[in-house]
Amino acid sequence: MRTAVLTDLHANREALEAVLEHVAGQAVDGYALLGDFVGYGADPGWVVDRVRELVAAGAPAVQGNHDLATVEGASPEMRPEPRQVIEWTRSQLSAEQIAFLARLPARHEAGKVLYVHANAWAPLEWGYILGRMDAMRSLHATRARITFCGHVHEPRLYHLSTTGKAADFVPTPGVPIPLLPQRRWLVIPGSVGQPRDGDPAACYAIHDEAEGSLSFWRVPYDHESAAAKIRAAGLPPALAERLAHGV
């Protein structure tokens, strides 16, 4: 079973199209989707429809903080920019698309694998995994051998040995990493629609369960078009600008 794990799509159609095309050449059996399907980008409806199709075909999907914020709607105490993005995103979605986001679960466990948006200790409190301490906290909060998380928009891999020794590294794209069975793993594939590690290329990962390996991928895409649509929609220009720099 080979699974393409995608997270933080953020309504970026151009990035998602490029990733789906790349995945099509990788002989995968299915997808897993870790949330934040909307927010920031200019194509929330298109992205939600692709996600719905993948879910209808059997892909597990969990809810991200931007999905929940879109379902709940803006509140008066929010700063003007996030409020504008949430209101605009809601205006682009049908009642069925919003209902789909509302129904997404906080976590999905499949055998030895846990899929969650932010972390395993309190998925809907949205704490970030920013280092080994956070990663250990998450690994200790689940019995799953492998946890896949989104939320942090930079690819990263953490592991924990049987003696409790933790380590982490920044993966090299396209190089398969053996997931040694005696260790426990926390995988952050990085963001499809808004990478933040200085490289504008979209991120995703492929988990090969039979082989016990993981590959991270970077997929260059037409970020100029995605940015032009954000500007044309009247969304905050900084959201367009950052796509070119991957920040």
What sign results for the dihedral spanned by CA atoms 75, 55, 159, 204?
Answer: negative
d(C-alpha 151, C-alpha 231), whole Å: 24
Least spacing, CB of residue 47 vs Zn ion, in Å: 13
Least spacing, CB of residue 40 vs Zn ion, in Å: 8
Contact indicator for 166, 157 with CB cutoff of 8 Å: no
d(C-alpha 240, C-alpha 223), whole Å: 9
- Residue 67 as a binder of Zn ion (CB under 5 A): the answer is no
Cβ nearer to Zn ion, comparing 14 with 36: 36
SS3 letters across 75-96: CCCCCHHHHHHHHHHHHHCCHH
Cβ nearer to Zn ion, comparing 66 with 90: 66
- Residue 8 as a binder of Zn ion (CB under 5 A): the answer is yes
The footprint of Zn ion on residues 95-124 (CB under 5 A) is: none
Least spacing, CB of residue 176 vs Zn ion, in Å: 26
d(C-alpha 221, C-alpha 142), whole Å: 35
Least spacing, CB of residue 7 vs Zn ion, in Å: 8
The region, left, alpha or beta by phi > 0 then psi within -120 to 50, assigned to residue 27 is left
Q: Pick one of 17, 36, 134, 197: the residue that binds Zn ion (CB under 5 A).
A: 36
- Residue 197 as a binder of Zn ion (CB under 5 A): the answer is no
Least spacing, CB of residue 35 vs Zn ion, in Å: 8
Contact indicator for 221, 202 with CB cutoff of 8 Å: yes
Show the site string, 127-166: x = touches Zn ion by CB under 5 A, - = not. ----------------------------------------
Binding site for Zn ion (CB under 5 A): 8, 36
